[in-house]
Amino acid sequence: MPTSLQTTASTCCYCGVGCGVLIEHDGKTILGVQGDPKHPANFGKLCSKGSTLHLTGDLDARALYPELRLGKGLARSRATWDSALDHAAKVFAETIREHGPDSVAFYISGQLLTEDYYSFNKLARALVGTNNIDSNSRLCMSSAVVGYKRSLGADAPPCSYEDIEQSDCLLIVGSNMAYAHPILFRRLEAAKAARPEMKVIVVDPRRTDTCDLADLHLAILPGTDVALFHGILHILMWEDWIDRAYIEAHTEGFDALKQLVRDYSPTVVADLCGISQADLLRCAELIGKSPSFLSLWCMGLNQSTAGSAKNSALINLHLATGQIGKVGAGPFSLTGQPNAMGGRETGSLSNLLPGHRDAGNAEHRAEVARYWGVDALPETPGLTAIELFDAVAEGKIKALWIACTNPAQSLPDQSKVHAALAACPFVVVQEAFFTTETCHYADLLLPAASWGEKEGSVTNSERRVSHVRRAVQPPFDARPDWAITCDFARRLEHLLKPGLPSLFDFASAQALFEEYKHLTSNRDLDLSGLSYAILDNQGPQQWPFPAGAQHGTARLYEDGRFPTASGRAQFLAEPYCSAKEKRDGRFPLLLNTGRLRDQWHGMSRTGTAARLFGHAEEAVLSLHPDELRRRRLQDGQLVSLRSRRGELIVPVQADENVRAGQAYLPMHWGNRFLKGLGTNVLTQPAFDPLSKQPELKLSGVEVEKAELP
């Protein structure tokens, strides 16, 4: 080991488990990574992605200098930061003056740190005067936000990782934890090995590696979750496995739900969900008879046109059984991205404001405006991800700022998004990797610092805030995201509001955190007692952590009081509605998309590490062997995969884990197919009416032998 080797404690930049890492470096270059034994998320363990982080810093893939294109069709050329940001400020100011503040938009990311989010939010709402700021977290967990807020009164996952280990019965729905949250899954595996009486139920149309741990796997038909949850409640009520005292003391709306679920008999639900009545009854029995019951869910529940209803129907089960606010119990949504939680907290979805406030609430707007020292915040509702790119396509958004995300790969109906970006008069992309599909459309590319190169904070799935520390300087001209945003904002202020004191005089990420945290004071997520010093001295902490607190809060709602108007949790009585896109003669298969164990999102980072292709070299379509036989296709053959929106040519494999009538394709590939762009060429942009989260996991498709181009 070289004598100059130093170690900096930070966090992994991939999933919402939020593992602590020790970055090994020589002050200039990151040389290795170890799990942080002191971090309470992972206690020293790392998964295949986290343990190879140091292999992903390839400068060949990094954006290193600002690059500016002075006209569509021209090549970008290298620019200084001054000229790049002056140009951007001029274009944004002219656009705002000519077309109004809602003619510009910001599309940001769950990969950003809390301080980055906060600076973007202040820029959009306080300076520009628009609510057109949305995040790729819209694709990830906005249905969970709606679910928590409607049922429990606040967007707050009430559990801790320890509850997963202490639970007697876990219901894992729409989550392949073994791949997407590997370290948490390992904690669950170890807990089940130590307590074999713990029961695990997995609900997933596909048999995934997570099912290896399951006592019961319910391979429901895609999109039928609400029917399943109502069917379980029907049985719980019938068998009197509900907690009437809890319902009476702490909830509202049970009578309406009781009426609704009468229609969801085991016969009806087993038929709707495509499972056996015996399995349905067994599932209800495991939940109803277990001393504690905890549910975990992720994209499989959230990415749906019924995502909000699915979340509420699942939370209903916890309220009806009193399984919330106690050890080993509660509805626990897993966040996909490392700081999707920070985005929710800082109000980085168009309908939110910092401190779990709502942009549609006049009182909330006035509170934030007062704190920021501006007259008012904008009232017009902001556009959500799909709406935002539709508005770009329609020419309503004339200047678009994209940070740390790759919508040209990740949004559904990908071809339409590419056309929108190509037509947008001015696209700024703030990115660490110039290789993303979105960078291709950047009129201005701004190089951002990446993992190990910047400071700030993140919140993981269990509400735990960690201090993210910088190990090395960003390469060449790359800068931290918050610094880019604030520098741009100061230049825009000069053009739009000359002579006024700047709202963006922040010298460090810490200064942003200190301003932001007071906006959470006396809110459900109160972070006002936290500081970088406390995080350094006491380690990562779970909110709420109000001023004067000695430690964070492991579990919410232990006293049975909820942050609703009445103090009671709300049962939601919403019927099951079938998915809008159905199988038909032309598109007889339902396509599900998902994650591989060793890749992350659009692979801008993981795609640079050869080792991470050892698990899966390429995207392969999985079909049940009967479907291959029906089409006279061979395992390994190239096939044409078509939906109503586009076509890909992709290899196919026989896979008994996928039910007949369905298909499965990983979502990571954005442009590497023989024909077509990426997986999301096929997916549909329909979204949930409340959460606006799109239906990325259910699209009608057909497969046939490929006519090679």
Stretch binding ligand SF4 (CB under 6 A), from 7-15, 285-293, 385-393, 442-450: 7-15
Question: What are 634's two structure tokens?
Answer: 């061979």
**Rounded to an integer, what distance in angstroms lies between the CA atom of residue 495 and that of residue 511?**
24
Instruction: Tell me which of 25, 30, 33, 50 binds ligand SF4, using CB under 6 A.
Output: 50
Question: What are 22's two structure tokens?
Answer: 């020790």
Stretch binding ligand SF4 (CB under 6 A), from 12-20, 446-454, 480-488, 680-688: 12-20
DSSP-assigned beta bridge partners for residue 623: 654, 663
Of the pair 124, 603, the CB lying nearest ligand SF4 is at 603
**612 contacts ligand SF4 (rule: CB under 6 A):** no
Instruction: Identify whether the C-beta of residue 113 lies closer than 8 Å to the C-beta of residue 468.
Output: yes
Least Å distance, CB 48 to ligand SF4, is 8
**540 contacts ligand SF4 (rule: CB under 6 A):** no
Stretch binding ligand SF4 (CB under 6 A), from 131-139, 177-185, 324-332, 481-489: 177-185
Distances (CA, A) of 188 to 166, 176, 463: 9, 13, 19
Least Å distance, CB 15 to ligand SF4, is 3
**18 contacts ligand SF4 (rule: CB under 6 A):** yes
Distance in angstroms between the alpha carbons of the first and the last residue of the chain = 52
Least Å distance, CB 8 to ligand SF4, is 16
Residues 6+ apart with CB under 8 A from 98: none
Instruction: Tell me which of 9, 12, 377, 628 binds ligand SF4, using CB under 6 A.
Output: 12
Of the pair 40, 694, the CB lying nearest ligand SF4 is at 40
**42 contacts ligand SF4 (rule: CB under 6 A):** yes
- Using the 8-state DSSP alphabet, how is residue 448 labeled? B
H/E run at residue 649: strand 647-654
Q: Give the distance, in angstroms, between the CA of residue 512 and the centroid of all CA atoms in the same chain.
A: 23
Q: Other C-beta atoms within 10 Å of 260: how many?
A: 20
**Rounded to an integer, what distance in angstroms lies between the CA atom of residue 577 and that of residue 449?**
44
Of the pair 12, 623, the CB lying nearest ligand SF4 is at 12
Instruction: Tell me which of 23, 30, 47, 489 binds ligand SF4, using CB under 6 A.
Output: 47
CB neighbour burial string for 616-652, b if at least 16 within 10 angstroms, e if fewer: eeebbbbbbeebbeebebeeeebbbbbbebbbbbbbb
Instruction: Tell me which of 19, 211, 403, 446 binds ligand SF4, using CB under 6 A.
Output: 19
Query: Cβ-closest residue to ligand SF4?
Result: 50
Number of residues that bind ligand SF4 (CB under 6 A): 14
Stretch binding ligand SF4 (CB under 6 A), from 40-48, 195-203, 206-214, 691-699: 40-48
Of the pair 182, 700, the CB lying nearest ligand SF4 is at 182
Of the pair 12, 465, the CB lying nearest ligand SF4 is at 12
Of the pair 41, 68, the CB lying nearest ligand SF4 is at 41
**275 contacts ligand SF4 (rule: CB under 6 A):** no
Least Å distance, CB 36 to ligand SF4, is 10
Q: Give the distance, in angstroms, between the CA of residue 466 and the centroid of all CA atoms in the same chain.
A: 18
Residues 6+ apart with CB under 8 A from 400: 104, 105, 106, 107, 392, 421, 424, 426, 427, 428
DSSP 6-35: EEEEEE-SSSTT--EEEEEE-SSSEEEEEE
Of the pair 172, 257, the CB lying nearest ligand SF4 is at 172
Stretch binding ligand SF4 (CB under 6 A), from 56-64, 179-187, 205-213, 409-417: 179-187
Picking from 702, 451, 492, 663, the residue whose alpha carbon sits closest to that of residue 584 is 702
Binding site for ligand SF4 (CB under 6 A): 12, 14-15, 17-19, 42, 46-47, 49-50, 181-183
